[in-house]
A and B are shown apart, each in its own frame.
Chain A
Amino acid sequence: MSTGAQGLALGYEPAAGRGECAVRIPLGGSHSAGAMSESQRKRLVSAVLEVRSEPQTRLVLLGVDVDGLRPAGRAALRDRIAFLPADGGLLSNLNAWENIVLPIGFHQPRRLSGVAARVKGILEELGADPGDLLAKLPERMTPYEKKLTAYVRIALENPDLVLAEEQQRGLDSAGRAAAARFPAVYLERCPGGTFVRLEVADEQP
């Protein structure tokens, strides 16, 4: 990456010869990473979540080049990043409420008090009925409700960087319109944060 790492929320320079394009997302705001192949998306997501670049690639996260980081530094950086999978990434034996509070209950149990009001606030801001959604198991949720549950789950953690995978996939028009509001609602609550949308290009036969 020829430019400095400091102004980048996400910088990914793939190994030469793969035919993949570089990704450069500035700090702050909502951005699309551009259309990429399925394999590149998987590699990028894996590298970001492991805070580790593959050989001959370079990865910058939140202004830090991950190559020079020690394990503690990687872990600290990872704590500031959230991933929003296309299918929501929910656990099927937990209802929406349990799925939402799972990571915060695990990593920051002291923050559990008052979390119900925050969840209610985020859901109402996105036009959802908390009473209807929170008791549902994933098998009874619509694709949008799954994405919404996953979104609320990451929003509670106030991450500095959100990586959202194919946010429109599998949604009807109402769901697409509602999911399109996720970045704005996130940025309202985390003004300095960066919301990155990862879209997969249609594969050519």
Chain B
Amino acid sequence: MIGVYREFEGCMRLAGYVLSRLPVLAKPPVAESLTRQIYFTGASATAGIVLRGAFIGTFIIAYVIDVLEANAALAVKILVWVVLREVGPLIAAVLVIQRSGTAVTTELALMHISGEVANLRQMRIDPRDYLVVPRVVGIAVSTAALTVYVQVIAVGGGMLLSSLTIDASLRELTGEFFALTSPVDFIYSVIKSFLFGAAIALVCCYHGLHPPGTSINAVPKAAINGVTQSTLLVLLLNVVFAYLVFGQAFFGLVTAKL
């Protein structure tokens, strides 16, 4: 229990440090590191996420139409509620944990064990400035961008499939979608996914810089800690956000008293 508290405290301290050191992003080596992180997490993951997004959107709509014998209004409502608000940010977060979370934790743990983190200190460079700040910002920005991809592809794919399978035209579905969607839905999901990305990066960087040992065996242990804890943190943040913004958590099981 004390270990969990220490890790939580360590991540919180790291978050405070990152917030206080954002101007370091203007330094050329850090800016380059940020660009690389955005490319790795955002750009190179796009192809995979497009396929997954299209698959999930069409799957949800097909399922709803088949099981609930839904009409156009219900199908679009479910797309907005499920894909736009919840599944989009969560899919992007899971993909980022799978790809970037593991990579960041492993890379930093290896750098720590091989003495490269100490080499940075010898160059009077704080490892958190060069290694953590660009990764946290890069992964947060990329997660928000990936969420938008997922939403566009999943909603678009879902509506296209609906127009082919139920008695509603694509135009009718699109009109229904814009009538049901408010700017809050987009802002909510983008802010949420930005925080998901920041949380994933902070937890993974923390475990990468604090591997549980100095042998090579500590690297997979650090990766496991980073992935499991960032997944739990994302789920927790999702519940907190749903409760704060919509007054509901756990799909309506917990409701705020207004």
Contact = CB atoms under 8 A, between A and B. Distances in A.
Contact of B27 (A85, A93, A109): A109
Contacts, number: 46
Nearest to A94: B29
Contacts of A49: 121-122
Interface in B6-45: 27-30, 32
Interface residues on chain B, size class:
10 to 19
Q: Which of B29, B32, B121 has the most chain A CB atoms closer than 10 A to its own CB?
A: B29
A107 B124 contact: yes
B119 A106 contact: no
A105 B116 contact: no
Contact of A103 (B30, B107, B115, B124): B124
A103 B125 contact: yes
A102 interface: yes
Given A78-B124, A106-B130, A89 B119 contact: yes
Nearest to A154: B123
Contacts of A105: 27-29
The CB with the most chain B CB atoms within 10 A, among A78, A79, A103, A153, is that of A103
A78 B122 CA distance: 10
28 contacts: A49-B122, A78-B124, A79-B124, A83-B122, A85-B119, A85-B122, A89-B119, A89-B122, A91-B111, A91-B119, A91-B120, A92-B111, A92-B114, A92-B116, A98-B32, A102-B123, A102-B125, A103-B124, A103-B125, A105-B27, A105-B28, A106-B28, A106-B123, A106-B130, A107-B124, A109-B27, A109-B28, A112-B28
The 3 A-B residue pairs whose C-beta atoms are closest, nearest first, are A89-B119, A105-B28, A103-B123
